[in-house]
Homo-oligomer: A and B are copies of this chain.
Amino acid sequence: MSWNVAIAGITGAVGQEFLRLLEQRNFPAQNYKFLASERSAGKKIQFAGKEYTIEELTDKSFQDVDIALFSAGGSVSKRFAPAAAADGAIVVDNSSAFRMQDDVPLVIPEINADAVQKHNGIIANPNCSTIIGILPVWPLHRANPLKRMLVSTYQAVSGAGWQAMEELKTQARDVLEGREPKPEIFSYPCAFNCFSHDSTVDAQGYNVEEMKLVHETHKIFNDESIAIAATCVRVPVFRAH
């Protein structure tokens, strides 16, 4: 079997990682469609020895698509994933837009692969810190159900995308050369500094990243009784290639 695959958000850091993995795994796709905002439409892209033209993401993009991988942020997913699903594509969404929706399976294959079988066209994958955090916990939970889980994250600035990574490098040079770093992507200087994850903080004092860990773990483990306390912090780390 062979599929028509679309990727929405091809120009982002995660879009590029999709390409790397699809090529590495020699994914059995019949055809690829690379989608992005109007700004990037028309640009050429090399993939697996072929040249593709980036197309603008619209409601009509998915008419002959079997699998649509979305990683262009929550608002883009909210806007276009339902149209893709309505046109018969199976959407695998990397954003938080649909994760907690009842009819959307939230899947870590090593934990709840079976959950993919009941969907309405959209399948979500969890937040990065949820995946990394609970994969090793799952076998422990099965052997002896968790009562309490304490999570502290040390999350790379580069997780916020290309521009954040560049901001870290620029600011690191600034600090080393005695200049004042100027934050643009984040609210605080990120070089040689740590701060609470750059997501909204709720009335209880938890940031959204911390609450994702709580809610997503409950959904994936199908157990709301686990008491989870998470502390999510950005640290000045990037993956050097």
Residues of A at under 8 Å CB distance from B? 150, 152, 154, 168-169, 172-173, 175-176, 192-194, 229, 231, 233, 235-238, 240
Contacts and interface: CB of A to CB of B under 8 A. Distances in A.
A145 B194 CA distance: 30
A213 B101 CA distance: 41
A154 B194 contact: yes
Given A152-B231, A229-B150, A237 B193 contact: yes
Contacts of A150: 150, 229, 231
Contact of A235 (B173, B229, B235): B235
Copies of this chain: 2
Contact of A176 (B172, B229, B233): B172
A237 B154 contact: no
A158 to B, nearest CB: 9
A191 B14 CA distance: 24
Contacts of A175: 240
B192 A236 contact: yes
A229 B229 CA distance: 12
Contacts of A238: 192
Given A150-B231, A154-B154, A154-B194, 17 more contacts: A150-B229, A152-B152, A168-B192, A169-B176, A172-B172, A172-B176, A172-B192, A173-B176, A175-B240, A176-B176, A192-B237, A192-B238, A194-B235, A194-B237, A235-B235, A236-B236, A236-B237
A36 to B, nearest CB: 29
Nearest to A194: B154
Leading 4 A-B pairs by shortest Cβ distance: A152-B152, A154-B194, A152-B231, A150-B150
20 contacts: A150-B229, A152-B152, A152-B231, A152-B233, A154-B154, A154-B194, A154-B235, A168-B192, A172-B172, A172-B176, A172-B192, A175-B240, A176-B176, A192-B236, A192-B237, A192-B238, A193-B237, A194-B235, A235-B235, A235-B236
Contacts of A168: 192
Contact of A233 (B154, B169, B172): B154
A192 B154 CA distance: 12
